[in-house]
Each structure stands twice: as C-alpha cells, then as structure tokens.
Amino acid sequence: MPYTRAHVLLFLGPLLLIVLLMYGMMAWTVAISMSDWVGLAPVWKFNGLQNFRTLVVGALQERFFTNLRNNVIWLVVFIVPTASLGLLLAYGLDLSGKAERLFRPLFLYPLTLSFVVTGTVWAWMYDPEAGVINNGLRMVGLGRWAQPWIADPGLATLCLIGAAIWQYTGFAMTLYLAAIRDIPRETMEAARVDGASDVQVFRYVVVPNVGHATMIVTALLILITLKVFDLVWVMTFGGPGISTEVLPFFMFVATFRQQFVGIGAAISVIILIMAVAVVVPYSWWSMRRLQV
Amino acid sequence: MKPSSRLPWLAILTVLALLWLLPFYTMLGNSLKTMREISQSQYVLPPRGLELQNYFVAFQVLRHGLVNSALVSVPATILAVLLGSLAGFFLARMRLRFARSIFFIATIATFLPYQIVLIPLTQFLATFKLVNTRPGLIIAYLILNTPMAALITATFFQTIPAEVQEAAALDGCGPVTFYWRILLPVAQLGIISTAILIFTLVWNEFLIATAMTQGPFNQMATPVLAGLRGNYAQLWHIQMAGATLTSVPPLAIFVFLGRYFVSGLMAGTLKG
C-alpha cells in the first residue's frame, strides 16, 4: 500500500513525539540527579555524583541500603513463589477439564484490582488487634499462631509481599496456562500412554516446555518489584520505622515530601540502571518476534 | 495408560480458590456490617444484615474521586488507543525500514518504571499550569500509555491476513481510509482488548495520581481511598465500602468482558 511522507507523519508522528519526550525526560532525570536541587523551584547547580555519594557512602547510606535490601527481598520472595504457584495452578487447571472455567477467574480477579484496594484490604487482614487473620486464628483456637504481622519490622516486608503474591499469581497462571496449551497434545498423551503419572508429566514434559513463559513472567515480575510503591504507601508507609521502605517509595518521599529533588532523581537513576538490565533484553527479544 | 485422576487437583484448586477469595470476602462482607458489629470485633463471620449506609458514607468521600477517575481514565484511554493504533498500524503493516527499531525503543519506554520520568513529568505539566488538573492527568497518562497501545495494537494488527490489505490497495484504498474503514472494524476485538487493559491500568494507577494532585476535589479515586486509611482509621466497614466502590469498574469489566481482559493482558506482555 503506497504512502507518502504526510502519512508517516500522521500515523507515526504522535508515537515518535511521545517516545522522544519520554527519552528526553529520562535524560532530564539523569541531569537532575547531578544537581543539588533542594526545594520547590529547580536549582541547576552541577554537583557531579555528590547525590549518589550521599546515598551510597554518605548521610543516607543506612537508609539506602535498608531500601536496597528490601528490594532484593522483594525480588527473591515475591518472584519465585508467584511463578511456581502460577505454574502449579496452570497445570491443575489444564488437568481439571471443565472446572477450569469456574476456577480461572477466581485466581485472576485480584489482578484487576488497584494496589490501593489490595493494600487497604490486606493491611486490615494483617492488623495485629483487629486483623481478620489473627481474629480468624483465635476463633478456630489457633490463637498462639497470631503474629504482629505488619507491626513487626521483621515480618512486615514479607506481609506486603504476601499481598503482592495474592495479586500476581493469576498473572503467572494465565501465561503458564497459555504455554501449557501450546505444548502439542500428542507429547502429553504419549507420556501418559507410557505410564507417566501427573507428577512425572509435569516434571518431564511441562516444566521443560514452558521456559518461554518463565522468562516473560520473571522479567515482568522483576519490573513490578522495581516499582513497588502503592502497597508500601497504603499498608505501612515504609514503617515500622523504615523497615518496609523500598527504593521507589524512598524516591517519592525524598522528592515530593522532603523536597530533596536531586536525591530523588539519583534514586530514580539507580532504579533506571536496574530496570534497564531487564527491559533492554526483554525489548530486544520482543522486537525480534515482530514480523515485518 | 494410567487414568489421570482429577480429584486431587480439584481438591488443591478448591482450597487455593477459597484462600484467594478470602480477601474479597473480607472486603465485601465487612463493607456491609454495622458499627455495632465492627465495634464488637465481629470481623470474620458474615454480616447479619445489609448495612448499605456504609456505602453512602464512603460514596460521600469518594464521590469526586470516582468522577475524576472516570473523567481522566476514559479520555486518556481513548486518546492513547487512537494515537497508539495509528502507529501500531504503520509498524505492523507498512514494511517500514525502521519498524523494528521504533518497536524496540517504544518497548523500553513502555516497561520502564514511572519513577524514572516522574520528576520531569511533573515539571513539564507545571510549565503548562496543568498540575492538579484533569487535563494534566489525561496528558500524563496519554504520554505513559501511548507506546504500550502502539505495541499491543501492532501485535493484533499483525494477525490480519495480508490479502485484506492487498485487496484494499488494489481498490485504490489509501492508508487513512484503510485504517479507519477496514482495519479498525476488522481488528475491533484487539482494539477493545487494548482499551480495557489501558483503562484498568489508568483507573488503578496511584503514583502519578498522588504526585500530580492534591485536595479532595482534584484527586482521583485511588489517592482518596488511600486517604481513607488515615481518616477512617478504625472504621473498617467504611474503608471496605470505599475499596469496593473503587473496584467496581475494573471488576465489572472483568466479569462482563473477561475474555478481552485476558487477551489484552497476554498481548500486553508482547509474548508474540
């Protein structure tokens, strides 16, 4: 289909303009991270890597590394259970025949909710006094299992992660179910004819054939952990103390609450560096799948 | 051949499904309890009656937020899908030399965390006096979601047979006519899926909404709901009613248009 320059401008112009603007804003963030902008109005005094030094070896060192450690905890404790449970559910759904239609939405619906809704509901479930979990445990005589949950600095991050697992397992499940359905039926049937049990089919046929989905799930869940903000804000606001703070949360508080905009931008740049390590390979891979 | 027994799987699925429904039960059940039930800490059992008064109270607080959310999400979604699908069409169907490169840089822009552009975005909107306004939020979400709309619609447009386009070209149909008269109608399922995904993302968004707006009249529903946690600290039933109200649009979409939600979600991962 023939087209002119005017067509290119009309069709691609808006996207290119927006993408250009976004890259410009990224560069802008990098520039701000090297200025000592404090306060509401922009201050463009170049101070090199001073903000990064303040974070990594300076006054904010302890807070920064608490944040970073929590991000690492998120990375490990959120991703592995979400992906494994998603895969298990997907295999279960695949085997459950018609019941799949009943079960699938029950695991997927949390994904449609806002993290703010999830946070509001779960924060209460975890509440040490009024929480549904502790009250439920007491009701069935398991009161000794009651915990301070989000009021305990050692448990709080894990509690937040629990809510996130609840929300994202359906996402992993959906991608894994599609991957399992892409495995040729004959392969599964052949294994069964040879006497393989459900567990053996899972181990030797399903797991080796869903690597593609694992890659997508892992990459996208990593990105979730690099921008987790809403749940922390709503459920604990970083507390008790700063025990549940993560970098995306600290970035917001430093910038918009404390007006250390240069520091906030420096945290953004650190998030950017970590995100690029995932996003660039992912984008490269999805570009290669575009058939043009 | 061993008959594969479904029973253990159904048992596991049932147990997990009940666990997954527990937060929803907590939210909906407690949103209908009376102050008396709440003050007696009767949180776990189902409500004795239907205390719809809670919804009235929560709605009074969330009213402006819900209206703002609707007046921001709907235009932002329509514009992002329109601008995105224009580009998606050219990227997927026009054999451009740079299609892949554009796709690549747009994918990076789509998946990077919003924090990375948040400060400049605020400044950018402040320059045009758009902070704390609905048009400002619409523009912010338009910028952040158009690249994603382009990528997703491109993946849907790719599945349309080349013959459709060739036949249209033979009839002398130009790109504009083809896009508007043929491509959009033929790919409408893909367009709806894209729109549903982006609407849900914008409706549920919190970071931008919190950074860009202040005060009860300008905020979207999500920051107002987050504020309920502070203002109605022990009034769990009101908080739960507010959470339910905020969830109605995305849940309604999921219940009635679940298929499109799933297909948008899958396309959104660009899994090909």
* A-proximal residues of B, 118-147, CB under 8 Å: 118-121, 123-124, 142-144, 146-147
Please, what is the average pLDDT of chain A? 92
Q: What is the pLDDT of residue A291?
A: 67
> For position A236, what pLDDT does the model report?
92
Name the 3-class secondary structure at A210.
coil
Q: What is the mean pLDDT of residues A97-108?
A: 90
- A216 close contact with B: CB closer than 8 A: yes
Residue B85 has pLDDT above 50, yes or no: yes
Inform me whether the pLDDT recorded for B3 exceeds 60: no
Banded model confidence at residue B133, pLDDT cuts 50, 70, 90: very high
Give chain B positions within 8 Å (CB) of A21.
124, 143
> Is the pLDDT higher at A155 or at B46?
A155
Domain range annotation of chain A: 61-288
CA angle A104, B43, A228 (to 5 degrees): 55
CA geometry: angle at B139 spanning B134 and B142, to 5°?
125
Neighboring chain A residues of B229 at a CB cutoff of 8 Å: 120, 123, 234
pLDDT above 90 for A141? no
Facing A197 at nearest CB: one of B2, B92, B120 = B2
Nearest CB partner across the interface for A107, out of B20, B100, B151: B20
| DSSP at A46 | B
pLDDT in tens, A4-54: 888 889 999 999 999 999 999 999 999 999 998 888 788 888 888 999 999
Q: What is the pTM of this model?
A: 0.94
Window from A50-54, B29-33, B121-125, B132-136 with minimum mean pLDDT: B29-33
Mean pLDDT, all residues of chain B? 91
Asked if A274 reaches chain B (Cβ–Cβ under 8 Å), the answer is: no
The pLDDT tens digits for A179-210 are 999 999 888 888 888 888 888 889 989 999 99
Is residue B124 scored above 90 in pLDDT?
A: yes
Residue B257: what pLDDT?
A: 93
CA A256 to chain centre: 22
Tens digits of per-residue pLDDT, B188-247? 999 999 999 999 999 999 999 999 998 888 999 999 999 988 788 778 889 999 999 999
Are the beta carbons of B31 and A117 closer than 8 angstroms?
A: no
Give the gap in angstroms from C-alpha A35 to the nearest C-alpha of chain B: 13
Number of residues in chain A? 292
Overall average pLDDT of the B155-182 stretch: 90
Q: Which of A120-124, A136-140, B219-223, B268-272 is the least confident region?
A: B268-272
CB pairs under 8 A between A and B: 322
Residues of B in contact with A198 (CB under 8 A): 4-5, 9
What pLDDT band is residue B2 in, cutting at 50, 70 and 90? very low
pLDDT at res. B241: 94
Confidence of residue B1 (pLDDT cuts 50, 70, 90): very low
Which chain A residues are Cβ-neighbours of B225 within 8 angstroms? 114, 116-117, 120
Average pLDDT over residues A220-238: 94
User: Which residue of A121, A275, A283 is in closest CB contact with B113?
Assistant: A275
Segment A110-132, tens digit of pLDDT: 999 999 999 999 998 998 887 88
Q: Which CATH number fits domain B53-268: 2.30.130.10, 1.20.58.1030, 1.10.3720.10, 1.20.1070.10?
A: 1.10.3720.10
Asked if A8 and B90 come within 8 Å (Cβ–Cβ), the reply is yes
Q: Is A58 helix (H, G, I), strand (E, B) or coil?
A: coil
Predicted-complex ipTM score: 0.93
Residue B269, C-beta contacts closer than 8 angstroms, at least 6 positions apart? A175, A216, A220
Fold of A61-288: MetI-like fold (1.10.3720)
Indicate yes or no: CB of A198 within 8 angstroms of CB of B124: no
How many CB atoms lie under 10 A from the CB of residue A77? 18
Tens digits of per-residue pLDDT, A250-285?
A: 999 999 999 999 999 999 999 999 999 999 999 998
- Whether residue B4 is predicted with pLDDT greater than 60 in this model: the reply is no
Among positive and negative, which fits the CA dihedral B133, B134, B139, B145? positive
Kindly list the residues from chain B whose CB atom is less than 8 angstroms away from the CB atom of residue A264. Answer: 119
Instruction: Tell me the pLDDT tens digit for each residue of A172-186.
Output: 999 999 999 999 988
| Whole-angstrom distance, CA of residue A250 vs CA of residue A67 | 8
Instruction: Say if B213 is an interface residue toward chain A (CB within 8 Å).
Output: no
Q: Are the Cβ atoms of B112 and A116 closer than 8 angstroms? A: no
Q: Residue by residue, what is the 3-state secondary structure of chain B?
A: CCCCCCHHHHHHHHHHHHHHHHHHHHHHHHCCCCHHHHHCCCCCCCCCCCCCHHHHHHHHHHHHHHHHHHHHHHHHHHHHHHHHHHHHHHHHHCCCCCHHHHHHHHHHHHHCCCHHHHHHHHHHHHHCCCCCCHHHHHHHHHHHHHHHHHHHHHHHHHCCCHHHHHHHHHCCCCHHHHHHHHHHHHCHHHHHHHHHHHHHHHHHCCHHHHHHCCCCCCCCHHHHHHHHHHHCCCCHHHHHHHHHHHHHHHHHHHHHHHHHHHHHHHHHCCCC
